Structure 1
């Protein structure tokens, strides 16, 4: 199985947390086949919104959710 990664972002209630204030407005950047591509996509979007402290982008390791033991 490939190691899929999801990158998405949105507004958070607290910049240090992961409580997204409006899940309907999440920006799904995409699903990537490896961490390096996911990190590049995350970095591009995070840097684009760096001046907005309530915007947060994250990388989710989908492969760990699909096969937690691996």
Structure 2
């Protein structure tokens, strides 16, 4: 379905967020109230750009990690190949 915001392309929503981990061996956050919700993006390319920017800005903090979550896969898990 065409969409003026995504330039006529299908939206494949992605969430970018991050926070400080308790340790480097597990994905368990030190403080859930301190999570940095970067945003929701209409495609992987934009989400990757936001993730990369945040990851590079926090490179001096070894415990800080950012993630890209494929929301479209959670919203429509029955669709193949997405």
Q: TM-score, normalised by structure 2?
A: 0.79
Shift of 1:68: 1.2
Shift of 1:11: 0.6
How far, CA to CA, are the matches of 1:16 and 1:46 in structure 2?
18
Pair member with larger Rg: 2
Shift of 1:69: 2.0
Q: TM-score, normalised by structure 1?
A: 0.92
What's the C-alpha RMSD, in Å, of the aligned pairs? 1.2
- Alignment gaps of 5+ in structure 2: 1-9
Write the mapping of 1:10-25 to structure 2, written as runs, cut at 5 A: 10-25=19-34
Q: What does residue 29 of structure 1 align with?
A: 38
Q: What does residue 75 of structure 2 align with?
A: 66
How far, CA to CA, are the matches of 1:15 and 1:41 in structure 2?
22
Structure with more helix by fraction: 1
Q: How many residues align?
A: 70
